[in-house]
Amino acid sequence: MVLLAEARLSSSVLPRKIIKNSNPTNNGSSRRSSSLSLCSSKTGQSPSLTKTSLRLTLPYESQSPENSFAQEITDLCNNGTLNDAFFVLSRHLLKSSDFASLTNAFGILIQACGYHDDLNVGRKVHELISSSKELMSNPILTTRLLTMYFSCGSPSDSRSVFEELEVRNLFQWNAMISGYSKNDLWNDAIAVFCQLLLTTELKPDNFTLPCVLKSCAEVSDAEMGQGVHGMILKMGLVSDIFVNNSLMSMYGKCCLVDEAIRVFDKMPEKNLVSWNTLLFVLSANGLILEGFELFLDMISLDKEFLEMDDATLVTVLPMCAFEGWIELGKLVHGLSVKLDLNHELRVSNALIDMYGKCGSLVEAQFLFKKTLQRNVVSWNAMIGACARNVDIDGTFEFLQAMSFEEGMMVNEVTVLNVLPACLGPLYLNYVKEIHGYVVRNGLKINSLVPNALVAAYAKCGSLDSAKHVFNGMEMKTVSSWNALIGGCAQNGDPISAVQLFLQMTSSGLQPDWFTIGSLLLACAHLKHSHQGRSVHAFIQRNGLEKDSFISISLISFYIQCGKVSTARTMFNMMEEIDSVSWNAMISGYTQNGMPDESLNLFRKMQRYIYEPSLVAITSAFMACAQLSCLRLGKETHCFALKANFAEDTFVGSSIIDMYAKCGSIDQARCIFDRLHEKDSVSWNVIITGYGIHGCASEALELLVEMQEEGLNPDEFTYIGILMACSHAGLVEEGLEYFKQMPTKGVAPKLEHYACVADLLGRAGKLNDAVQLIKGMPEKPDARIWSSLLGACRIHGDITLGETVANKLLELEPHKVEHYILASNLFASSGRWDDVRRVRNLLKENGLRKDPGCSWIDLKGKVYCFMAGDNQNPECAAIHVMWSILEEKISQIGYVPDTESVLHEVDEVEKLKLLRGHSEKQAIVFGLLNTSAAVKIRLYKNIRMCRDCHNATKLVSKVVGREIVVRDNKRFHHFRDGFCSCRDYW
């Protein structure tokens, strides 16, 4: 141990006078405890003195007439009039010869100076004592002087007194060690301890060692702490309960949990502090399950032997909050009521915090209202609960109420709780008000508040304000850079995010996992796959790929850049695949138009016994919708019902969308009507569903109902309405709704202009469509020109169509569908040279036309048919069946429309090509493999041609079956020789 002390002293400040925190005006009251207690009360060392318990009294033997002045000093000290007490004492010092009485009076006044933080009177008393060699040699007075100076926040004065002592006893050494510890001067406390070992024959006792252990814990010096543990063993203090409690606390703060448990297990005697200490050690080190096992052991002990206190409960409740264990939290709440501890303020605060973090906001509010005496922690817990549960109005209501509460001051914790609730532009003024309060009250004592302000401004869309706060920060930490980089990446300025990252690294700071995640998000938004791969290389060089957050960020980046196979490779290489990774990959397949792979992975996730989340369920519904797989959609719906997900409004909207896009609009409406809570998303989905089915009257009726329910239509509502009008040919009505948008506070966007251009184009009003496009406030995108080009082909306007085709190919020269539209335009008018020119351009650009495909879902399996494909095993049966059907429909008016064949071939070849269209094959396959009561449902990847449309109408009549076809424009419901589109598509 001496060697350990020598090693510590070799670089310590002890050879020279220690001067720390020497400003006499700094009373340090916020960090100070009583001068009568040498060690922390947390370890049970000795009762600490509190301001409510101070009451100075004379010893019994001093209560004599001769010592009435000592009683007078005692009374004055109790009243807090220390200057008067000093005057009385200095007056009697000149005429009194009773040394014992004087010593006692000096001790009382010194003690009172420490309690009242009166450094000025304390120094006067010290000066009087220094004038007497006899008084300065009194160990009790000098010990109290040491403690008084530490209590008044002046360790340098304590050090001066200590160095002037000719003889030092253990109490004075303990006073120094304890004083430094209480003033958070942990290294100084350890240095004095080492000096004690090296320069004296004194042996530390059970008052010395807990203070040293606390200091070791605070500076995370496990080696020094283990050395002190060795001393404890040699000195035979292993049975001292207070020393052992300090040992456990030290090991816990140094993350040596096993050592703390060993100390606990070997303790011959344990008190409540022992159990609470180990419970806190386990909780603080994230061992929540182990902590609860210990708590259950505590409960099982004899009540008379160990009764839990409020410290136990305020340790257990945060564990419930951390894991979201609401039921266990309620049990602990019940226990607090049984023990009559629920009225303790810190217990009620912990309960409010627990309920808030477990999502039970109502219970948190109920407890808060029942709490009669609230402090700042109470208000912060309630405000934090509202913010965490996205009760924005509640957050600001409680903040306002707190500001009106007498004696309550908003502090840094309040600000840090409120700012995350500011989630959009509507709350920008709130952020500005909070920022002003922070500046006025000087709350920017660390980087946490400025960082939170940067993040809040970014979320509210004010990136300039976020940058202004960031630039005003004196010390920029990695977290500060992360706040701004993340804000830019997530809120529409990914280029700035990348530039800030380069500035950060050039300043010498190393990025962490959050920086990397934000940078990958920025690269994903910019579709900068090259830069993203560079970031991936950086991750590999620095060994960060094993971090689950970074792995998921990489997967998300590759998905958003369309590199799904690379994302899947990353996914397969992960050592531990959590639910977030599964969700990212499942939704990624759906987003990239790979619904089959999405559903396969969804099934695999279930086989691996991972509980699918709302994200996975929603992605599965989207995949079913993309494939128009009603059976698979119904199976997923059943799964959602069993998992209690169907009540979620977002999942409910996904179910409605799935049924609508699988052709079952009636079932979609049934689900919509059964929703308990209908938000704007639910209304928009069902309105759009009716729109793609061409049911304009139903969509318009729903719009009226939506407004009657108090919900205002938004941009997505109007897309559904305009789509419905377009598919139904309601030109005037559609234009009226388009004009109505600004009056409802909705600014028309490119999507709305595309819908109106389609509305006019379908109706043959091509000039009106052109004028609309010319008058747009924004530059038209490819969707608008594509819609107009399709209308030009339908209505035979080759001149306008050629102009539009050129614009379209200029905008997006790598989109195959644009070349196909242009080719079909020229083919429909017999301009085969132009057709060949366009198709040659297609080849020169390395592009290839996707064949016309149709998918049909039978008994949960999806079958795909391609135009002209003769490789299907049932190809022969399909051809035979179609020949029979063609003969029947010919008898009731079917005439093949060879103009639908846009190829330069003879009539015989055109008839052959028409018979090989994918939807005809899929319909026949469905008829061959289903009973007469089943609807035939199929999905086609391109627009249905006129010949297939006419043929399918007649087939539905001769077979007496309903046939539902979804092409890339809309739904067609064929029944009894008619189509729901009324031949307007």
pLDDT in tens, 913-969: 889 999 999 999 999 999 888 899 998 988 899 999 999 999 999 999 999 999 988
For 462, phi and psi rounded to 5 degrees?
Answer: -105, 75
Question: What's the whole-model pTM score?
Answer: 0.64
Report how far apart, in Å, the C-alpha atoms of 898 and of each of 830, 942, 980 are.
13, 18, 24
Question: Using CA atoms, how far apart are residues 970 and 985, in angstroms rounded to an integer?
Answer: 8
Residues in the chain, overall count: 985
pLDDT at 719: 94
List CB contacts of 979: < 8 A, sequence separation 6 or more: 949, 952, 953, 972, 973
pLDDT at 103: 85
Tokens 């190829």, residue? 903
Report how far apart, in Å, the C-alpha atoms of 928 and of each of 217, 858, 922 are.
79, 11, 10
Tokens 């009360």, residue? 41
* Exposed/middle/buried for residue 490 (C-beta within 10 Å: 0-12, 13-18, 19+): middle
pLDDT at 423: 79
pLDDT at 827: 86
- Cβ-contact 808, 782 below 8 angstroms: yes
Q: How many CB atoms sit inside 10 A of residue 143's CB?
A: 25
Pairing of strands 936-940, 971-975: unpaired
| 585-618 residue pLDDT tens | 999 999 888 888 998 888 888 777 666 778 888 9
Q: Where are the beta strands (DSSP E) in 841-983?
A: 853-858, 861-866, 936-940, 963-966, 971-975, 978-979
Pairing of strands 853-858, 861-866: antiparallel
For 966, phi and psi rounded to 5 degrees?
Answer: -110, 115
Question: Using CA atoms, how far apart are residues 595 and 269, in angstroms rounded to an integer?
Answer: 64
Q: Which of 668, 651, 670, 650 has the alpha carbon at shortest distance from 660?
A: 668
- Cβ-contact 14, 191 below 8 angstroms: yes
Q: Which of 441, 440, 439, 461 has the alpha carbon at shortest distance from 450?
A: 439
Intervals of the chain under pLDDT 50: 1-53, 58-66
Q: Which of 763, 792, 760 has the alpha carbon at shortest distance from 773?
A: 760
- Using CA of residue 216, residue 221, residue 225, residue 227, what is the dihedral sign? negative
pLDDT at 245: 94
pLDDT at 96: 58
